[in-house]
Structure 1
Amino acid sequence: MTRHLIAVHDAAVNQDSGGNVWITGDVNLPAELLESHADGKLVLFVGAGASMGDPSNLPSFRELARQLADAARVPFDEDKALDLFLGSMPANFETHVHARRIVARPDSSFNPTHSALVRLASAPGRPRIVTTNFDDHLTTASTAALLPDVDVWVGPALPLGDDFSGIVHLHGSVLRPPAQLVLTDRDFGRAYLTDAWATRFLQKMFDEFTVLFVGYSHDDPIMRYLALGLPSKTRRYVLTHLPDDDKWNHLGIVPVPYPAVEHDHSALLAALEEWDRRARMGRLDHQTSMSEIVNAGPPLNPVDEDYVRQRLERADGALEFAQFARSVDWLRWAESVESFQRLFTGGADTEASSVLGNWFGQVYVADPALHGAALQTVQRLVGRPLHSVRSLCESSVSD
């Protein structure tokens, strides 16, 4: 069946197999993120925003600087870089000790975002999380979720950036001496410029992995240091509710937008949880989802549309689809699917295409009631007059 259809036409219908995938109705993820995650090649890079929700209730880096200014009884400078401001605190003020006290507050505990992040990171196997947060909520969330024990690394004693797993506290931890926290311009200078232990780790990490930032804003100090010292062609993304800020482009980071109203970031949490659910789906889960979607029929909502298209790039997904799809509406819909188009365009044959070729031949070409619809599909995809493809389909069935 497949070779007959490929032989009649050597033109190619070019369709990008990458693109974006609607993981929820609000969040459209780049396919590279999904693929890197499935391949165990994604690092989640977690910032202070992840620890701001209830019951963590910890400050952003800017709010931390503001609270430290209040404690030191000095005016907070809105226009000064945060690390420079913290480096200018009075000499008799123990900036690091006070910062540790604020972050280590006993009434703060992990929140649903921490749980979603550690589950998502561990879904493909070895979790890889890097955080500039000082709190240990990611570790406690991992323990509470009964996930396998993970290694925890705290700067400056870091693993190799291109071969690590676990949770890396890049800028220190409340569980270590306060002096090891990276807060001031002098601390950042040592970590990224003079001793450069953070830079060495990150350079290797960015060379090896795709990276997704979660919980950062463009004015977080680390963003300035990343822009100064790291390769410009690395694969960096950020989940953000402010995707139109030009500074992301300057930093070489691709924004992945989600909607947020005031302080409601529930769309971010929903996307992380759905991504994790998808990543953990087994064969029966996919069969159930495919059955429900196909039985409902096209047109599909964007989330279901992208899910089915993704599954049709795999042989097992194509088999699930072929098991349930029997209507002309689904044949018309399949005409826009790359793995189906390959049957008619001379593109590289795949297992998924072969499955769809058998589905097309057995369900549509071989059925007298659907034979006319099959001829019309061939005409549209091959570009030949209807009478010239009739014998093609007939010979395909007898093959």
Structure 2
Amino acid sequence: MVFFCGAGVSYPAGLPGFDGLTSGIFEALGENPNPTEKEAINEKRFDLAISLLEGRIKKRPVVREKIREILTPKNLDNPASTATHQALLILAKNQDDSVRLVTTNFDRIFLKVAPSLSFYAAPLLPLPKKSRWNGLVYLHGLLPENNDATALNSLVVSSGDFGLAYLTERWASRFVSELFRNYVVCFIGYSIGDPVLRYMLDALAADRILGEEAGEVFAFGDFNDGDEDRAQRDWQSKGVVPILYPNRGSHFLMHETLKEWAGKYRDGITGKRAIIVHEASSPPSPIKSDGQIERVLWALMEPTGQSAKSFAELDPVPPVEWLNVFAEPRFTQSDLRKLGIPVVLPICQAATN
């Protein structure tokens, strides 16, 4: 799985989303949006609003410098400011110690957390194949540490920039399409209406229309009280499997979940065995949303068999209700491929193919 990080990842560091960035640019320049720009902002087309502003005032370099100022954190001394970035770097590390992580953010927080981390900045992107990619990809560009006009001009932030990256030159859409073909992707820190997300999901939809195979796509998404079903439908309509959490301000549950995942992942077999001891000693929960069953199944899939051994050796023995869980059909051949398990076709099917 590859984690795809949006603006919400950097909220704990005090950085804004696309809406806050857009309003911050207008404010920093002392500009009031004209009616056309205001309409774009109201429609959450922030990329268009920035493009209109740059075209109106004819000061693209000045706009880009304001972006650098707005997206440079004032203080990262508080560990909470970078805890989510640290968690994602743990989750992005593979067994061979390679890192595969993508962000559409411009800020340098990941590099503050891991100064020796290899990275790629748009438009110079790697091929997202397992044998050729090790590092963090700044898909839409990276803020320079100083006022580097060339790097600032390369940021993908206005509608014109997105047009070049996804439609004309297509280096961003090619990367995204190849990524979807080779990996299961999980979006983190994006809202359902995020214009940045829209460009990427449009690229995915185009590939699916052409019959291209793609892995499953997941996304963390929040919902307000009473709106969970609607949020589920909205994400699914875009071909995305949502990981929903209630909106309790600052996306606290998303950040805490990522930190918890990172701890379990870092602990390896020990962490998975702890899940078995803690979770499988009780009957399976009838409340599907609490994730108990999924956590136990995930731990049992550990390839060395140590977690399964822990389950078998529990004393007292696990409740018999777990047998019903294990007997339920949950996986297909496509799931085996996602897990890296070779699929052996029956002789008759192989001959037909």
1:279 is aligned to 265
Shift of 1:48: 0.7
Worse-superposed segment, 276-285 or 210-219? 276-285
1:128 to 69, 78, 100: 100
Q: Give deviations 1:296-339, integer Å, cap 9, x for gaps.
A: x4335555544334444563323212222445xx3622431426
Q: Is the 8 A contact 2:90 2:266 kept in 1?
A: no
- Structure 2 residue 180 is matched with structure 1 residue 206: yes
Distance 1:284 1:225 in 2: 40
Q: Give deviations 1:332-365, integer Å, cap 9, x for gaps.
A: 2243142699xxxxxxxxxxxxxxxxxxxxxxxx
Distance 1:191 1:220 in 2: 17
Alignment of 1:326-365 (within 5 A): 326-327=316-317, 330=318, 332-338=320-326
Higher relative contact order (CA 8 A, sep 6+): 1
Q: Is the 8 A contact 2:284 2:321 kept in 1?
A: no
For the pair shown, the structure with the greater C-alpha radius of gyration is: 1
1:378 is aligned to none
- Structure 2 residue 284 is matched with structure 1 residue 307: no
- CA 186–317 in structure 1, closer or farther in 2 if over 3 Å, else same: same
2:306 is aligned to 316
Distance 2:196 2:70 in 1: 20
- CA 199–305 in structure 1, closer or farther in 2 if over 3 Å, else same: closer
- Structure 2 residue 143 is matched with structure 1 residue 156: no
Distance 1:79 1:288 in 2: 48
- CA 278–339 in structure 1, closer or farther in 2 if over 3 Å, else same: farther
Letter in 1 for 2:306: D
Q: Is the 8 A contact 1:62 1:82 kept in 2?
A: yes
1:267 is aligned to 253
Shift of 1:292: 4.9
1:65 is aligned to 22
Distance 2:136 2:11 in 1: 19
- CA 286–117 in structure 1, closer or farther in 2 if over 3 Å, else same: closer
Distance 1:288 1:79 in 2: 48
Q: Give deviations 1:11-44, integer Å, cap 9, x for gaps.
A: xxxxxxxxxxxxxxxxxxxxxxxxxxxxxxx111
Q: Give deviations 1:130-178, integer Å, cap 9, x for gaps.
A: 11111011122234xxxxx431100001111234221111111111521
- CA 303–173 in structure 1, closer or farther in 2 if over 3 Å, else same: same
TM-score of the superposition, structure 2-length normalised? Answer: 0.73
- CA 286–217 in structure 1, closer or farther in 2 if over 3 Å, else same: closer
Letter in 2 for 1:134: F
Alignment of 1:80-99 (within 5 A): 81-89=45-53, 90-93=56-59, 94-99=62-67
Identity of aligned residues (%): 28
Distance 1:241 1:138 in 2: 24
Alignment of 1:1-399 (within 5 A): 42-53=1-12, 56-72=13-29, 73-75=31-33, 76=38, 77-79=41-43, 81-89=45-53, 90-93=56-59, 94-107=62-75, 110-122=81-93, 124=95, 125-143=97-115, 149-162=116-129, 163-175=132-144, 177-230=151-204, 231-232=207-208, 234=214, 235-242=216-223, 244-245=230-231, 246-263=233-250, 265-293=251-279, 297-299=281-283, 302-313=290-301, 315-327=305-317, 330=318, 332-338=320-326
Question: Unpaired runs of 5+ in structure 2?
Answer: 330-353
Q: Is the 8 A contact 1:139 1:167 kept in 2?
A: no
Letter in 1 for 2:135: G
Question: Unpaired runs of 5+ in structure 1?
Answer: 1-41, 144-148, 342-399
The CA RMSD over aligned residues, in Å, is 2.7
TM-score of the superposition, structure 1-length normalised? Answer: 0.65
Q: Is the 8 A contact 1:46 1:131 kept in 2?
A: yes
Q: Is the 8 A contact 1:57 1:108 kept in 2?
A: no
Shift of 1:229: 2.8
Letter in 2 for 1:81: R
